[in-house]
Structure 1
Amino acid sequence: MPTFTALTTLTGKTPAEALGAAMERLDPAPTGVGVFEIEDGSGLWEVGGYFTEAPDAAGLALLAAMHGAADFAVSELPETDWVAKVRRELAPVEAGRFFVYGSHDADRVPEGRLALLIEASMAFGTGHHGTTQGCLTALDRLAEEGVAPRAVADIGCGTAVLAMAAARLWDVPVLASDIDPVAVEVAEANAAANGLRGRVRCLEAAGFDHPDLEDAAPYDLVFANILKAPLLALAPDMAARITPGGHAILSGLLIDQGAEVTARYAENGLIVREAIEIGEWMTLCLRKTAG
């Protein structure tokens, strides 16, 4: 079955969300619509739809004109077995002592490594992305220094690869939360597949807004591999829930966004210990001041 995409950009969240809602009323209707901020400081948002038959070009042109968007770019995607493609192209990833792999590479797990199984069909956030690799590297370095947290949270956990990595290192409770219920289901499945059910608890929550996250605070270590805007907004809440001397590992940042996030967290008592750059991405390891 062919798949078509229709993508455009425009300025501002509210207009972008309005355009996304209008796209859902097209005939033929899209099978899905996404609205995303382009994290390059431009203020642009991308709006896109997926279609199983060619979208109405005239309807798209009218929507773009009505909402002040650029012309839609329509493409037909080749039919692809994405899981097979991921299995072919995503080799296992090593970050410090961690080895992230799919079941098709189970025979390649080295002795003495902390192995994390993520299936190819759940490839987002497996460790192949520079942000996740950076977080795993920062985590490994903290452990090498003798850091031993008593409570850990992974905010915006995705597949929960970071939460599972912490649970592999230390016998401590780890809470993994995500605003997306599908991500929570994926995180639960991954925890079970890695024998970590019970040690990694998965919650649906925005930020720290869940009674279980509140009850478990303060934390000695918090992960947040999300995006610049939510990281900036999360700074006061995170600082209030980390113990003095505790750590935060943040990513989802382009390199040129690091200075702004660093400054915001410094205002809240979290000082950069290390910045790790992998490709175009930056990971920050922060420590909360004792005062």
Structure 2
Amino acid sequence: MPQIRFYVTADKAAADACYAAVETAFEDLGTPVSLAEIDEAKAIFEVSAYVDAPDGEEAERLFAGAIAEAGGGEICREDLPDKDWMADVLAALKPVRAGRFLVHGAHDRNKVKTNDLAIEIEAGQAFGTGHHGTTAGCLETIARLATRRKPRNALDLGTGSAVLAIGLAKLARVPVLATDIDPVAVRVARANVEANGVANFVDCATAIGFGAEAIRERAPYDLIVANILAGPLMKLAPEFHRHLAQGGDIVLSGILTTQRNAVLAAFRNQGLYHVATLVRGEWVTLHLR
């Protein structure tokens, strides 16, 4: 589907304010939002939001409102062609190592070593290839955690490509429920689960937050993994507590380093306490118990 990119350029301080406002405006929609330095010498940054073309009018209204709230700026629009950008990008991506895991495409199967826990993820319509700092951070944290405290029942909330659910199943060989708000992502997740040979361990379901019968039926969980966004995570903190087994663990990501303390505070209010933080670039992965 063709996409539209709305963007604005500004100095660092103004760009940070714009990024925060745009991220807040779009956080419940799952819209990709980025902040990138485009001119190092002049310290000029660009804030962008990527939306499907049919949603362009409403997205432009949201983007314009966010930029105005942040202090204003000239809003630009770029119409992107209907192209499988993910396929183009993944063709050039190298395998990613995170702990014992190796996330790779079919073209890199020869890179898998004897003791690797290999996860094969092809280009698709769902988030999670292992190359983003949040996904890799979750995998590394899961690898550390599951070897010391093997869960008996796990939930991957906002599963995307199911890369984390597949990793859990391969590492711990335990039942995992993988859920996502997007039915397309759930279809992609099921296909990836089958392709990685863990269909006996991983079930996939469509769910908005914790609001699905499949989630309630299998609760409580010894481990809940959620790589989404900081805003939804904080809103869902009471639900994490409600669905977690006594002494259970939570792994959270999709969190910028600047958002870490706010997320920790929201979960601390629910009696869920910080165990460890893993930093990858501007992103953090949190382990709570």
TM range (shorter): 0.7 to 0.9
Aligned to 2:43: none
Q: What's the CA shift for 1:171?
A: 2.5
Q: 1:87 touches 1:104 (CA, 8 Å); kept in 2?
A: no
Once residues 173 and 50 of structure 2 are traced to their aligned partners in structure 1, the CA distance between those partners, rounded to angstroms, is 43
Superposition pairs of residues 33-112 of structure 1, within 5 angstroms: 36=31, 46=49, 48=51, 50=53, 71-75=74-78, 77=80, 82=85, 85-112=88-115
Contact 1:134 1:277 in 2 (8 A): yes
Gap change, CA 1:39 and 1:214, over 3 Å in 2 = farther
Give the Cα–Cα distance (whole angstroms) in 2 for the partners of residues 139 and 257 of structure 1: 21
Deviations along 1:207-266, one digit per CA (max 9) or x if unpaired, are 111112111111000001000111001111111111121100000000010000001111
Map 1:136-147; keep pairs closer than 5 Å.
136-144=139-147, 146-147=148-149
Aligned length: 256
1:253–1:283 CA contact under 8 A, matched in 2: yes
Contact 2:4 2:52 in 1 (8 A): yes
Pick one of 199, 220, 232 that aligns with 2:201.
199
Larger radius of gyration: 1
Cα deviation 1:53-88 (Å, max 9, x = unaligned): xx99xxx89x969x9786541335579663553244
Please give the secondary structure, in 2, of the residue aligned with 1:192.
helix
The one-letter amino acid of 1:207's match is: G
| Mapping of residues 274-285 of structure 1, within 5 Å | 274-285=276-287
Counterpart pick for 1:129 among 128, 132, 142: 132
Matching residue of 2:4: 5
Q: Is the 8 A contact 2:227 2:253 kept in 1?
A: yes
Measured at CA, do residues 6 and 273 of structure 1 come closer, stay the same or move farther in structure 2, by a change above 3 Å? Answer: closer
CA 1:195–1:205 in structure 2 vs 1: closer, same or farther (change >3 Å)? same
Question: Larger helix proportion, structure 1 or 2?
Answer: 2
Alpha-carbon distance between aligned partners in 1 of 2:143 and 2:203, rounded to the nearest angstrom: 21
Partners of 1:207 and 1:225 lie apart in 2 by: 12
- Relative to 1, partners in 2 of residues 1:242 and 1:12: Cα closer, same or farther, differing over 3 Å? same
Aligned partners of 1:78, 1:187: CA distance in 2, in Å? 26
Q: 1:269 to 1:39 in 2, by over 3 A?
A: farther
Distance 1:139 1:47 in 2: 30
Whether 1:246 aligns to 2:264 is no
Counterpart residue number, 1:216: 218
Partner of 1:120: 123
Aligned in 2, Cα 1:119/1:47: closer, same or farther, shift over 3 Å? closer
Query: Which residue of structure 2 lines up, in the alignment, with residue 21 of structure 1?
Result: none
Distance 2:257 2:206 in 1: 29
C-alpha distance in 1 between matches for 2:7 and 2:48: 8
CA RMSD of aligned residues (A): 3.5
- Please say if residues 125 and 185 of structure 2, whose CA atoms lie closer than 8 Å, have aligned partners that are also in contact: no
Specify every segment of 5 or more residues in structure 2 that has no aligned partner in the other structure, as ranges. Answer: 9-17, 36-46
The verdict on how the C-alpha distance between 1:262 and 1:222 changes in structure 2, with shifts beyond 3 A counting, is same
* Separation in 1, partners of 2:268, 2:51: 36
**In 1, Cα distance between the equivalents of 2:21 and 2:282?**
25
What's 2:153 paired with?
151
Aligned positions of 1:230-245 closer than 5 A: 230-245=232-247
TM-score, structure 2 normalization: 0.77
TM-score (normalised: structure 1): 0.76
- Taking the aligned partners of 1:81 and 1:265, their CA distance within structure 2 comes to 38
Listed as ranges, the gaps of 5+ residues in structure 1 are 18-33
Asked whether 1:229 is paired with 2:231, we answer yes
